[in-house]
Amino acid sequence: MHGAGSRTVRRRRNHRDCTDAVIDAYAGRILGWECSTSKTTAFVESAIRQAAVIRAREGHPLVGNTIHHSDAGSQYTAWRLGDTLMLSGMVPSIGSVGGAYDNALAETTIGLYKTEAVRDDSPFRRGPLHRLADVELLTADWVGWFNNTRLMHRLGSKPPVEFEADYYADLTQQPAGVGRPVRTRPGAIQTAPGSSMIGVSVGGARYGDPQVRHRAG
């Protein structure tokens, strides 16, 4: 999974909020997220634990060989985060400083979050952001829409959750002794969900449910 690096965006008057997300690199699904008024290791840990719980609840627990990749932000280099990753079934990976390609997936997700949800004229905004709770509500709505509705060109015009479900459906149909199916696609980072994750932090906003399924890459 990819733990995309932390970012802050000014969304509330005189305040800067952060949102940390954990993204599965296979289909780009956001598995965990947390909002905070500051970039701390604690709120990154919360997103990581959420991702591990979701995978376990769905019957695909992380067993210690999942790579959690992030940038070199202080919240990701803290010693305590290493313990949290280990207990969550992940191993840490830190990208090179200034390496644009290292965090391409994270930066793409950040851009979508800002463009679709955070900007002031976003069609998803319901109103101004006065409290951190407003940012949390926005993020919950957007992540749910992103994972379950947003069509991704690189996934064959399917949302991330649907693409993952197809993978596991194919897996259960394989004869005994046959290895996991491999779905090849342009820019693929891995061959199965849960192999690599990314961590990222961004700002928040609030939007309503869209009436159409947006197509994206």
pLDDT, residue 199, reads 66
**Would you state the structure tokens that stand for residue 34, as one six-digit string?**
């947390």
pLDDT block averages, 10 residues each, the chain of length 217: 52 74 92 89 93 95 90 87 95 77 79 88 82 88 96 95 93 63 43 68 35 35
In the beta sheet, which residues pair with residue 106? none
Instruction: Tell me which H or E stretch contains 79.
Output: helix 79-87
Phi first, then psi: what are they for 62, rounded to 5°?
A: -80, 130
Greatest Cα pair distance, the chain, in angstroms, is 59
Cα 66 to Cα 15, 99, 151: the distances in Å are 35, 22, 26
DSSP structure class, residue 158: B
The helix/strand/coil state of 154 is helix
pLDDT, residue 49, reads 96
pLDDT, residue 170, reads 87
Reported pTM: 0.80
- Gyration radius of the chain's alpha carbons: 17
Alpha carbon distance 105, 125 (integer Å): 24
Burial class from Cβ neighbours inside 10 Å (0-12, 13-18, 19+) for residue 103 reads buried
pLDDT, residue 8, reads 54
Q: Structural domain boundaries of the chain? A: 2-174+193-204
- Are 6 and 77 spatial neighbours (Cβ–Cβ below 8 Å)? no
pLDDT, residue 191, reads 54
The CA-to-CA distance between both ends of the chain, in Å, stands at 19
Buried b (16+ CB within 10 A) or exposed e, 199-215: bbbbbbbbbeeeeeeee
What's 2-174+193-204's CATH class?
alpha beta
The helix/strand/coil state of 146 is helix
Cα 51 to Cα 29, 128, 136: the distances in Å are 10, 29, 17
pLDDT, residue 205, reads 32
